[in-house]
Amino acid sequence: MTPLKAGAVLFAKDIAVVARFYRELLGMTPVHKDTGIVVLESTLMQLVVHGIPKRIADTFEITVPPVLREDVPVKLVFPVASLAAARKAAPALGGKLGPKSKEFTARGFVACDGHDPEGNVLQFRESAAPAAD
């Protein structure tokens, strides 16, 4: 039996676009796809991209660039090998990372906020280099 992973469910208007963003930017693997749902996994977590019901999705528009969804109680955090590489790749996938000037260091990582193609605000983290003695 495969052990369960920690994860998150992210509701999206366009699940194909949102799933592609996470799959390509974070190197997540699609493990399940059905009408209205794409399940992506990494070695540490599972991300379920779940379609928003049509009656709700029809009540709002995703703009380009998207309006940021900042007034939510949760911000997803994802590790990346390189913030610089993620910053470069994100726009082609419909997302964005903040500029290098917005990076901050804490507890062994360097972080920068960004967003996915639908405006969900995220934090990306790379491991901080150990301090030289």
pLDDT digits (tens, 9 = 90+) for 112-122: 999 999 999 99
Number of domains the chain contains: 1
Q: How far apart are alpha carbons 56 and 7 in whole angstroms?
A: 24
- Is residue 1 a part of any domain in this protein? no
- Kindly tell me if the per-residue pLDDT of 45 is higher than 60: yes
For 116, the domain range is: 6-127
What's the start-to-end Cα distance of the chain, in Å? 45
pLDDT score at 3:
76
- Is residue 133 a part of any domain in this protein? no
- Is residue 118 a part of any domain in this protein? yes
- Kindly tell me if the per-residue pLDDT of 82 is higher than 80: yes
- Is residue 39 a part of any domain in this protein? yes
- Is residue 36 a part of any domain in this protein? yes
- Is residue 16 a part of any domain in this protein? yes
What CATH code is carried by the domain that includes residue 60? 3.10.180.10
- Is residue 132 a part of any domain in this protein? no
- Is residue 64 a part of any domain in this protein? yes
pLDDT score at 17:
97
